[in-house]
Amino acid sequence: MKAEKLNPSVTMGTILAGAIALSFQYYITINVVVFLGFMLALLFFSDAKKKSILALLLPAIFAALGLFFMGLYYARGSSVTAEEMENVSNLPYAVRAAASANFRTALQLATRLLAFAGMGIFFGLTTDGERLVFSLMHQCHLSPKFAYGTLAAVNLIPNMVKEYSQVRTAFEMRGLHVGPLSTKVMFTMLVNSIRWSESVAMAMESKGFCSDEPRTYHYTMRVKWYDILFAVVVLGGIIIGTIVLTNIPGSF
């Protein structure tokens, strides 16, 4: 079974609840297991390309490294400098204890960030925008007015990109050199976008669209057994892991 078949609303709710649960625990092991679990799920149970995973993962790794060194060297109340860390054996015991506490805190912060990133990357690469909107309508009772409006805006984005390129080309053909953030190009593109939005609104009205009346759907999103299994495995794993590690002295 592919991760793309999961109900987007269940996936989103599970990830949000999992992120909240992770923020209340301080175990590095759980953070690492969550991160590796979602990365393995992306590699073996989804159609996500490895290049896409790596492109999103690299910024998260750099951010985690930055958070780690910040927590290691600039923890509150720390008197340990980078030069002193090079020769830890000569430091007093109290200073070494503080450095050890800083090291664990830094690992907690860095691995938690990686866990959050892993869950976010999993959701972003396995969730289709249209399926998410349909799921929000059917499972979360989002108003069709907002749902179809969001879909219309998302579907207009490729046209806006194409229009931006055409407007820049038109200016250059007239000998006017414009920058990538030129207000002239942006203004022309936004004017055309407003026209497109009016056309979409008129088309929806002409087709009898009304969010207040009962309507049928070509495809209805439903919650399947594997959606419940996904939520139970993720949330249950985090909760059980936290309880088990809490009862084991010296857990890391």
Q: What is the pLDDT of residues 178-234, one digit of tens each?
A: 777 777 778 887 887 788 777 877 877 776 766 666 777 777 888 999 999 999 999
CA-CA distance, 76 to 114, in Å (whole number)?
Answer: 22
Of 119, 100, 125, 109, nearest to 33 by C-alpha is 119
Do 80 and 99 meet the contact criterion of CB atoms below 8 Å apart? yes
Q: What is the pLDDT of residue 118?
A: 94
pTM of the model: 0.77
Look at 46-50, 67-71, 157-161, 210-214 and tell me which has the smallest mean pLDDT.
210-214
- Residue 91: pLDDT band (50, 70, 90) is very low
pLDDT, average across residues 69-88: 58
Residue 89 reports pLDDT greater than 70:
no
Q: What is the pLDDT of residue 97?
A: 44
Question: Three-state SS across the chain?
Answer: CCHHHCCHHHHHHHHHHHHHHHHCCCCHHHHHHHHHHHHHHHHHCCCCCHHHHHHHHHHHHHHHHHHHHHHHHCCCCCCCCHHHHCCHHHCCHHHHHHHHHHHHHHHHHHHHHHHHHHHHHHHHHHCCHHHHHHHHHHCCCCCHHHHHHHHHHHHHHHHHHHHHHHHHHHHHHCCCCCCCCCHHHHHHHHHHHHHHHHHHHHHHHHCCCCCCCCCCCCCCCCCCHHHHHHHHHHHHHHHHHHHHHHCCCCCC
- C-alpha distances in angstroms, 185 versus 144, 180, 198? 33, 8, 20
pLDDT, average across residues 27-54: 92
CA-CA distance, 71 to 38, in Å (whole number)?
Answer: 25
pLDDT, average across residues 10-38: 92
- Which tokens in the block code for residue 44? 């073996």
How far from chain centre, in Å, is Cα 31? 16
Neighbouring residues of 121: CB distance < 8 A, sequence distance ≥ 6: 38, 39, 42, 53, 56, 57, 60
CA-CA distance, 108 to 45, in Å (whole number)?
Answer: 28
Q: What is the pLDDT of residue 152?
A: 77
7 CB neighbour count, 10 Å cutoff? 25
Report the mean per-residue pLDDT for the chain: 81
- Residue 98: pLDDT band (50, 70, 90) is very low
Give the chain's radius of gyration (CA, Å): 25
* Pairwise pLDDT comparison (40 vs 88), residue with the higher score: 40
pLDDT digits (tens, 9 = 90+) for 113-124: 999 999 999 999
pLDDT, average across residues 232-242: 93
